Copies of this chain bind each other. A is one copy, B any other.
Amino acid sequence: MMHELDCFFNPRSVAVIGVSRNAEKIGSIIFRNLLDSGYSGAVYAVNPNAETVFGKRCYRSVKDIGGEVDLAVVSIPAQHVTQAVSECAEKNVRACIIISAGFSETGNKEQENEIAGIAKGRMRIVGPNVVGLYDPYSGLDTVFNVKCRQGRPGKGGIAFVSQSGAFGAAMMDWCANEGVGLSAFVSVGNRLDVDEADMLDYFAEDEKTAVIAMYIESTKNGRRFFEKLRKAAEKKPVVVMKAGRSREGSRAAQSHTGSLAGSAEIYSGAFRQAGAVEAKNAEELFDFAKIMALPKPAGKNVQIITNGGGFGVVATDTVVKSGLRLASISGDAKEAIRNAVPPFAVVDNPIDLTGSSTKEMYEKTMETVLQQDSVDAAIVILLLQVASLESSVVESVIKMKKYLKPVIVCSTGGEFTGIHKALLESAGVPVYPTPERAVRALKALSGIK
């Protein structure tokens, strides 16, 4: 059975209400992004003052559209939104995204209530005050930023729910750039109807979603949220970042999405109780979300493989400090590795393949350590600046998935490194720029407090 919210992600047809002839207006950007996004359903433009826009027919009202409309995206000044939603209700539109701002975040709670009243029992509403919604699987793209400024991530397993639109957009852009794929993105904004709890409910059931990542400043209904969080976390990992932790931050949140944030400690405790993973900042949110789809390690023993001594030292420090342990491999395993690496390589933990490392050395070393029962996870440091290390080492790392143990990569650098990082990420291998962030993520996956 289709989930009630599926219309937001897989509508058969979309109407954009507020497509201006000015290409720089938000409604126009959304309309053109939709035409351009690989979305296969019908896309309609609505604007009472235009016959055509961007070479396409334009409708005076959503009611004038001949075919059925599953989803309406509303991007017009706040004072006209109530009327537009009423017309959507008359047209039997089933889902509505209100992009427009100027509602409860500026004190205008009344109009939100009025719109909620119109929608009740007839349609579901996302927003107002949102950046949009994006689904790389259906191709639906209602995010109002132009693509040359904000990238769109490819298909992946992370569903990202953000209360803040700008935070969400920046993170999507970042994911697209790093090669991290999403199952869907949605900004929930003022939540006059659909809220973060509904989204938990939806993504918990969504098969394409392996991990749910959330940025929240407050909850609309705390009890219901934590109930849904608990249920979702039983099904798949949920990583949550709560902003507005300080009194001052909470006040800033109120003028942002029109809702009061609660005490940080209460939230942290409730996240723990619900079985969710708390991220303390934006980097953790994505560092953790990226790793959570991997198999959970059977124990705490980590093998470090590096081609840079310094990174190996830092990784060692961090593993020891984290509560994870340095794995020990058998003498036979060491011997097998020694036969495949130069005499000056260090076969211990870390295993340092040195600047003379090649793809073959990495492959043999990874195979050997991952076959050891005493190794629960591996951190593979790839410094791709050295000329001897072939690009295809990326494929060797990806192949290690067969061992069903977490294998994560630490790699830092510029453009050349970036290309390889993106290849790994898009194959589901999480990559971190520093040993510290790699270890912190592995610790979160292991469930060590």
A residues near B (Cβ < 8 Å) are 24, 29, 101-102, 105-106, 131, 145-146, 148-151, 162-171, 173-174, 176-177, 215, 217, 243-249, 252-253, 255-257, 281-283, 307-314, 316-317, 319-321, 326, 343-344, 346, 348, 350, 352, 354-355, 383-388, 412-418, 433-437
A245, A308, A309, A320 interface centre (most CB from chain B within 10 Å): A309
Given the known A-B contacts A307-B166, A314-B282, are A352 and B173 also in contact in the complex, defined by CB atoms under 8 Å?
A: no
Measured in the bound complex, the distance between the Cα atoms of B314 and A167 in whole Å is: 10
Closest to A106 in B: B344
Whether A386 contacts B307 by the Cβ 8 Å rule is no
Measured in the bound complex, the distance between the Cα atoms of B257 and A414 in whole Å is: 25
Whether B433 contacts A283 by the Cβ 8 Å rule is yes
Whether B387 contacts A436 by the Cβ 8 Å rule is no
Measured in the bound complex, the distance between the Cα atoms of B416 and A320 in whole Å is: 39
A29, A249, A354 interface centre (most CB from chain B within 10 Å): A249
One of B319, B355, B413 near A173 (C-beta < 8 A): B413
Identical copies of this chain, number: 2
Whether B384 contacts A255 by the Cβ 8 Å rule is no
Residues of B with C-beta under 8 A to A418? 177
One of B170, B326, B414 near A151 (C-beta < 8 A): B414
Closest to A413 in B: B173
Residues of B with C-beta under 8 A to A106? 343-344
Measured in the bound complex, the distance between the Cα atoms of B174 and A331 in whole Å is: 38
One of B24, B150, B255 near A416 (C-beta < 8 A): B150
A–B pairs, 5, beta carbons within 8 Å: A102-B344, A145-B387, A173-B416, A255-B352, A282-B435
One of B101, B166, B312, B343 near A311 (C-beta < 8 A): B166
Measured in the bound complex, the distance between the Cα atoms of B244 and A166 in whole Å is: 40
A164, A168, A354, A414 interface centre (most CB from chain B within 10 Å): A414
One of B145, B148, B149, B434 near A282 (C-beta < 8 A): B434
Whether B170 contacts A308 by the Cβ 8 Å rule is yes
Residues of B with C-beta under 8 A to A149? 384-387, 416-417
Residues of B with C-beta under 8 A to A433? 174, 282-283
A177, A314, A412 interface centre (most CB from chain B within 10 Å): A314
- Say how far A67's CB is from chain B's closest CB, in angstroms: 30
- Say how far A369's CB is from chain B's closest CB, in angstroms: 16
Measured in the bound complex, the distance between the Cα atoms of B414 and A162 in whole Å is: 18
Given the known A-B contacts A101-B354, A385-B169, are A416 and B148 also in contact in the complex, defined by CB atoms under 8 Å?
A: yes
Residues of B with C-beta under 8 A to A163? 310
Residues of B with C-beta under 8 A to A244? 313, 317
Measured in the bound complex, the distance between the Cα atoms of B354 and A105 in whole Å is: 11
One of B148, B215, B246 near A317 (C-beta < 8 A): B246
- Say how far A345's CB is from chain B's closest CB, in angstroms: 10
